[in-house]
Structure 1
């Protein structure tokens, strides 16, 4: 994921509300039986899926929202602003 995430950088991943994902989010997703960080390159809300890619332009394919487990909220302690309001914890803390 260089330059977004370099080898050995510490990342924090939080459970995500997949319906809030947008292009440019970094997500933890299962593809072909393995779980990796991927870049969201397209969103298909009607079919409840996201297209995941690497940051060099290679598209890995589409995956359903139920295979997206989390969103990267920080890299080496620096928050990723795009993750704000997309975590399940954010929804549970919201006033009713």
Structure 2
């Protein structure tokens, strides 16, 4: 999915209205510094993973300005940012989920 988020909370990693591409993610694979699309504190954010808690199957997300949005469970991590304005993000290829070719819906 490609879209153009607005706001300055992720500058300089993502500037307002830059095109980002987000792919489905295995929620157990993001690492600190990865940019994920996740719901935390009732809002969906495109923010960085700032801490991991594998035992409780959750991640903490934060913007790039020092604000922590909070902890969220793996089932609320919807995707990982794989590209910004056509530039591939590092170390994301092995974290995405392949589309299910057997899906008949």
- Taking structure 2 as the reference length, the TM-score comes to 0.81
Q: How large is the RMSD of aligned CA atoms in angstroms?
A: 1.6
1:37 to 38, 46, 52: 46
Q: Do structure 1's residue 59 and structure 2's residue 68 form an aligned pair?
A: yes
In structure 1, the partner of 2:15 is 6
The CA deviation string for residues 15-44 of structure 1, in whole angstroms up to 9 with x for no partner, is 000111100000001123321201100111
Q: Note if contact 2:41-2:69 (Cα within 8 Å) is conserved in structure 1.
A: no
SS of the residue corresponding to residue 85 of structure 1 reads: helix
Q: Which runs of 5+ in 1 are unaligned?
A: none
* Partner of residue 73, structure 1: 82
Instruction: Return the structure number with greater helix share.
Output: 1
CA contact (8 A) 2:34 2:48 kept: yes
The structure 1 segments of at least 4 consecutive aligned residues displaced by more than 6 Å after TM superposition are none
How big is each residue's C-alpha offset from its partner over 1:52-83, in whole Å with a ceiling of 9 and x where there is no partner?
A: 00111111110001000000000000000121
Structure 2 contact 41–70 (Cα < 8 Å) conserved: no
Give unmatched runs, 5+ long, in structure 2: 1-9, 101-105
- d(CA) in 2 for partners of 1:52, 1:32: 10
